[in-house]
Chain A
Amino acid sequence: MDSISATERYRRGPLAVVRFLGLVLLGAVIGAIASLFAVGFVAAVLALNDLLLISPRSRMMFDHPGLLVAITIAVPTLGGLVVGLVHLAIPERRPHAPADVIAAVQTRRGRLPVRAGSLSALGALVSLGAGASVGQYGPLVHLGATLGSLGARLLRLGRSDDNITIACGVAAAIATAFNAPLAGIVFAHEVVLRHYALRAFAPVAAAALVGHVIATNVLERGALFHVADTAVPHPWEFVAFLAIGGLGALVAGAYMGTLLGVTRLAMRLTLPPPLRPALAGSLLGIAALWVPDILGMGQETLRFATIAGAFGSGELLLVLVLKIAATGLCLGMGFGGGVFSPALVIGTLFGALCGSLVGQFSGAPQETFVFYAVCGMVAVTAPVIGAPLTSLLIVFELTGSYALTTAALASVTLASPIAAQLFGHSLFDIQLESRGLDLSAGRGRAVLRSTPVVELLTEECVTLRPETPVAAAVTALCQARHGEGYLVDEQGRYLGCVGLADLEAAREATAGDLRVGGVVRLARSVLAPDTSLWDAMEVLQDVTGEALPVVDAEADDAFLGVVFESSIARAYLAHSDELRREEHGTG
């Protein structure tokens, strides 16, 4: 008990305050760097869009209709090819994304490789620049997180601290891109850290604030929506907003399903990986000749969807379905980019569709049209990224409208839980689950699941040959003060486990030259080297003994050593204690 209170004392006091302030300062510095990178990234995407004739303005100013048709198909196709080649240089042969950030933080491995991070950012830049139907916020979040992780690595910080610096990079990226510092802070907590602690809050807030200051001074962007001051929804319309929430969850499900479905389909294609995004790009380009609204991030489409009468109902449905298909196609076939911006567009189109249908059936004037569009936007986006609070705050910070935020709240109330019940917590979690990381039972289990038991392996055990005389075995065990020995043959293969009591009994009963190989073996489960701490604990429930042998089945049952029951228990307690301190620590 003394040692614990000493640690607690170390965690308080003036030195701890200095350490904590240093972390806050580091958060601000990482925030500044991540924010500048975000600004540069956004500017580069816009410049590429202008240069490659993807942005409406550049297309309008280009006065050669025939050539424009060719360019509309060629740019996404060639862009896809370049992206595919860039991704070949990443070890996993896929772009890293926010899901990787979440995995790094949730399993407390806190390291994001710089090479994969920068190549992913490059891939996303080309994808967005060439007009793929993907988002920019995912790459920005990952870029910010990678910078945060790099900062922690350069300063040789511990596991808890690097999780915080990653969250700082994420918060700054969101704060800069949306010019929404509160949303940045909440996103980092809600999606990445998934817990709330004062120790993390202050550095993350500092990073978001710096991002906000840089965004307001460098990026001059208009508010996402303008809401007429007079428009206040009728009470009955809140029922519609709730319904939009429920239905929005299904749209979110369709969106995520399409994306995952195309990803699975792409795996089965015989096409070489770099040609997959090229194929997707050419299909996108051809479709965009008829429906240009699906090209690129879709900021113009999103804006028009908030204006009553800009689209007809049929048109809204068409663009909605095509945008889901285009995004699924682009991301599933290997373009790099986020899922957030397309979700915003899809959701807004869906909300606009609901709004115009309500208008048609009720005959009411469409003064509150923008409310429907925003409700749809939040209802689809929140489940996809698993961040209801962030989505609400983005609406609040971008519109400054309390009425609009309240309406959005009505939609999120149903959308997020329904989607979570039907499909999962978020697209990121579903992706991670398919890669074997299940976050549904929380961080504790994820950490234990991702810690291999081999980390606790020891060779301090008694190994016995089958031909060893029982008497010699008893002596060896007694001298080593162990109650169990492990039978290993000449090739180092594991044959079983014998107990001291059984050996003693056998010696008493036979008094001859019985060998250890003839003694009854204990029923004892074995662990593989990659068995996780969590699975080892499950095994331990049915075992009474001092240790579990670790055997490598792939190397002809080679005996590697043992893991003591007590070390598993200690590791579990240590992990729990670290998590507890990280999640409840004050500074």
Chain B
Amino acid sequence: MLSWGGAYERAQQAALFAPYTAATGRPVAVEQYDGGLDELRRAVADGEVPWDLIDMTRSEAMAACEQGLLEPLSSSLLAPAPDGTPAEEDFLPDAFGRCAITHSVFATVVAYRTDAFPGRRPTVIGDLFDQRRFPGPRALQDTPAVNLEWALLSYRVPLEELYRLLSTRRGLDLALERLDELEEIQWWEAGDTPPRLLAEGKVVMASGYNGRFFDAMVNRGAPIAILWDGQVQEHETWVIPRGSPHPEAAREFLRFATTTERLADLARHIPYGPARRSAAVRVTTHAETGVDMRLHIPTHPLNAERALVKDETWYARTLARIQALFRDWRKSRESREPE
């Protein structure tokens, strides 16, 4: 099994892996990664795939599927809802891909230190780039995705037009220009870095996964808050890599981990929106602190008012070029920075 580590893996451990082992007697061995397809590509090419199942973002799953790195999956292997509703009707309408099955919806959001800006709070995503009103260093993920979206959104363009505008050279230039205006950026790769940087006071605003920020706020009492405006929602999926050593076992686990009961339980450990409706209505309080989890889930209507759904088809086709552009920009930025 390949997953993301940190608070997310702890939640999976409690809600999925431990119950699975208890039910079947089979242990689950987990390795960590920070996303990306390079390792998988190498493993498939070498014919030595060490994982049976990977927890992958949908955009990467789509790209991996197109490149032939994944086994096809069928929705028929999923369990029906407790009331008998078939899985196809119970899951979100776009939960099934050719090689991936969405189990949760998470969001990349901006969080900020609540003590950093006396008398004011960021309210819109454009505030991430407003260093006059919200001074201090930022931490951003070292990928073009989400950063470009937020940078262009800061010009107050409508959500619906975002990817059309990002598809033009002018839109990309505007976005990079906005990112360039930020004086100090700490780039992160692993999901638990941004909550740590915020908690340690090394940055005042950071992008990150909503589950990790929740964990820092609720479990560790960090003085941070989430800015939901402009949250970028993404599907988290299960995929089986091509050449997996135990594909049948992987399918069996996948069926177990996507039952209504397990998904609802996962959302009691980490605030990700369950991909099936029967599970979403069963989400209650946090397993340890008793906090109402519904208010921390990205798909909750209050949080989702200005949510951007990541255009994964767009990324699946353009990622390589966008990444190259982003790398060039980072290089030129670094060359301009004083030593």
Contacts and interface: CB of A to CB of B under 8 A. Distances in A.
Interface of A: 55-57, 59-61, 63, 220-223, 226-228, 292-293, 299-300, 303-304, 307, 309-311
A60 B158 contact: no
B174 A307 contact: yes
A304 B160 contact: no
A292 B169 CA distance: 10
Contacts of A309: 174, 177
B85 interface: no
13 contacts: A55-B164, A60-B168, A60-B314, A61-B313, A293-B170, A300-B170, A300-B171, A303-B157, A303-B165, A304-B171, A307-B157, A310-B170, A311-B170
B19 to A, nearest CB: 40
A63 B317 CA distance: 8
A57 B161 CA distance: 10
A61 B159 contact: no
Contacts of B317: 60-61, 63
A63 B321 contact: yes
A31 B165 CA distance: 32
A55 B165 CA distance: 10
A310 B170 CA distance: 7
A57 B160 contact: no
B310 to A, nearest CB: 14
Nearest to B169: A292
Nearest to A307: B155
B170 A304 contact: yes
B101 to A, nearest CB: 24
B168 A292 contact: yes
B167 interface: yes
Contacts of B74: none
Interface string B226-261: 000000000000000000000000000000000000
B156 A303 contact: no
Contacts of B174: 304, 307, 309-310
Nearest to B152: A307
Contact of B158 (A55, A222, A300, A307): A222
- CB-based closest 5 A-B pairs: A222-B158, A60-B167, A56-B167, A226-B156, A61-B317
Nearest to A293: B170
Given A59-B167, A292-B168, A304-B165, A222 B314 contact: no
B188 interface: no
A300 B168 contact: yes
A221 B165 CA distance: 14
B161 A222 contact: yes
A228 B165 contact: no
Contacts of B134: none
Contact of B318 (A55, A61, A293): A61
A98 to B, nearest CB: 27
A56 B314 contact: no
Interface string B277-316: 0000000000000000000000000000000000001100
Contacts of A60: 166-168, 314, 317-318
Interface in B160-193: 160-161, 163-168, 170-171, 174, 177
